[in-house]
Structure 1
């Protein structure tokens, strides 16, 4: 089996990204969300994973604003992460998340928020304790934070427009 290659998504990847999202979640909802975030220009980093020349995974990081005291702070939202079901359990998702984190840290990002399985995202350093004081439409046990530097630990979270009503 060949290794997975992670790279920046291109316009030519749009159809493959849509298909991976749709297959991974068994519906078009997340695929449509990705397309709206990208169309709105609110994505910060979009990566694909390729194996044998085929896109088998995708991750999207978009801008998330934290307003702790009337002064917005730039943070990152990880959503969604998708791996084609035929390639799940083979490290594709982990490769995407780790590569994304490396790029974001190099760019100076300080905080990432994810709403997802604590057991899965905990292995990357995300923790519920770091997110429990935020106010968000998505607040709950699945909301977790990962800090790469000094950042607010509370405040209102403003997700990209495409997430409204999601």
Structure 2
């Protein structure tokens, strides 16, 4: 397995991974594909935080971190949103999803990022240090979902971790379509 940032030549392979991972009989094209396509052309896109997992030379895993803002009464603070995370169906359950998520989080720490939010399965994301976002005072359109709305404070490069400023997490417009 090889983990690395997404390259422009990976676009088709990433779309195939997303299509396979999020396939549903009632949807021709999963909205996660459109989300990634729209984010790629936006100011919220951080190329070094779009990670792929290769297995046998084939792109089979994907984890994306993009810019969001935490708006409080005092100011806006930069943060990241994790998602979508996907693994090709024929390569699931062998640790690729965990590996690509950890690679993205590690890259975020190296860049000095401080906070990541995610909407997803608490049992999966707990292993990476995520917990309920409402306990950190973070709200979003998904706050009402309870446990799936999660956040993780990232350690600084020197190892310290400060709690985030409580506030509303503002997602870029493409997220409204998911």
Of the three residues 4, 7, 13, the one matched with 1:7 is 4
Structure 2: tracts of 5 or more residues without a match: 24-28, 155-160
1:79-124 Cα distance to aligned partner (Å, 9 max, x none): 1000001111111011111111111001111110000000000011
Deviation at 1:132, TM superposition (A): 6.0
Alignment partner, residue 99 of structure 2: 95
Secondary structure of the 1:164 match is: helix
- Take 2:88 and 2:43, find their aligned partners in 1: how far apart are those partners? 25
1:73/1:151 Cα in 2 relative to 1: closer, same or farther (>3 Å)?
farther
**Is contact 2:153-2:164 (8 Å) kept?**
no
Runs of 4+ in structure 1 over 3 Å off: 129-132
Q: How many Å separate the matches in 2 of 1:8 and 1:43?
A: 12
Instruction: From the superposition, tell whether residues 131 and 145 of structure 1 become closer, same or farther in structure 2 (CA, over 3 Å).
Output: farther
1:16 to 9, 13, 16: 13
Normalised TM-score (structure 1): 0.92
Distance change >3 Å, CA 159–CA 6, structure 1 → 2: same
Give the deviation of 1:134 after TM superposition: 1.8
Structure 2 residue aligned with 1:145: 151
Structure-2 residue corresponding to 1:61: 65
Aligned partners of 1:130 and 1:153 also within 8 Å: no
RMSD: 1.5
1:38 aligns with 2:49: no
1:146-165 equivalences in 2 (<5 Å): 146-148=152-154, 149-165=161-177
Q: Secondary structure of the equivalent of 1:137?
A: coil
Kindly indicate whether the alpha-carbon contact (under 8 Å) linking 1:66 and 1:155 is maintained by their aligned counterparts in 2.
yes
